[in-house]
Amino acid sequence: MSIDKIPVHVSMIMDGNGRWAKERGKERVYGHFEGVNSVRACVEAAIETGVKYLSLFAFSEENWNRPDEEVTTLMGLMVKAMANEMDSLDHNGVRFVVLGNRDRLGPELNEEIDRCMKRTEDNQVLTLIIFLSYSGKWDILQAAKKMAMDMLSHPEDIEAVSMDDFGRYLVTDGIPDPDLIVRTSGENRLSNYLLWQGAYSEFLFVDTLWPDFRKDDFRKALETYAKRDRRYGKVK
């Protein structure tokens, strides 16, 4: 089935790994491992449908408050997943980007991120963005601090600052705002994600747990988006 209107940027809040594992009598981390298969499926579906940017909310600033064992497992899974998937991503023209408060990540993970980003920086088929150690409030705050520092020497310029000017201080500078944000697992909230960038995004909340989310689910989300009427506050 063809889809009339393809979004440029689709963003996924990957939720439900823990519940998926619990339903199967497994530890929460088991769901995180299975969720990698859903990431792979969504990347393939994005390429097949012509989506240019796919972003995934992998780990929030608030997630650092989870049990140490789970956090350690998640960080190790990130390293392993990058090592396992990078050949395929590079071969298929995927540019790999990680955004967030990377100062909180360990040296091994940061080194692997830098290596993967450097390797794929010229790819143009799809940009895959992983939001890691990220929150919307943190992003806005760090942007405000950077802008304030730049304004110290020219305070008279502050009145001329536009929304686009401020947006260049966000970690997503150069990346289009998401057209569609999808959250899995039946939860109906943003959870401090892309608060600035999602101002005019279309939202879709689905009951499917993330480890069960596959290509058909991704295409159904795009079909739902194609039926939406985006007016940006205007009227026809």
CATH number for position 197: 3.40.1180.10
In a domain, 174, yes or no: no
Q: Is residue 165 annotated as a catalytic residue, yes or no?
A: no
In a domain, 121, yes or no: yes
In a domain, 142, yes or no: no
In a domain, 232, yes or no: no
In a domain, 231, yes or no: no
In a domain, 200, yes or no: yes
From 15, 139, 179, 217, the catalytic residue: 15
State the total domains in the chain. 1
In a domain, 234, yes or no: no
Distances (CA, A) of 72 to 15, 80, 211: 18, 12, 20
* Summary count for the chain: helices (H), strands (E): 7, 6
From 4, 17, 37, 63, the catalytic residue: 63
In a domain, 1, yes or no: no
Q: Is residue 63 annotated as a catalytic residue, yes or no?
A: yes
Name all contacts of 89-94 with Cβ < 8 Å and 24+ positions apart. Answer: 89/43, 89/120, 89/123, 89/128, 90/119, 90/120, 90/123, 92/43, 92/47, 92/125, 92/126, 93/47, 93/123, 93/124, 93/125, 93/126, 94/43, 94/47, 94/120, 94/123, 94/125, 94/126, 94/127, 94/128
Report pLDDT for 236.
67
Report pLDDT for 191.
96
Domain hosting 214: range is: 9-135+179-226
Report pLDDT for 227.
94
Residues of the chain with pLDDT under 70: 1-2, 236
The string of pLDDT tens digits covering residues 165-204 is 999 999 999 999 999 999 999 999 999 999 999 999 999 9
Report pLDDT for 2.
66
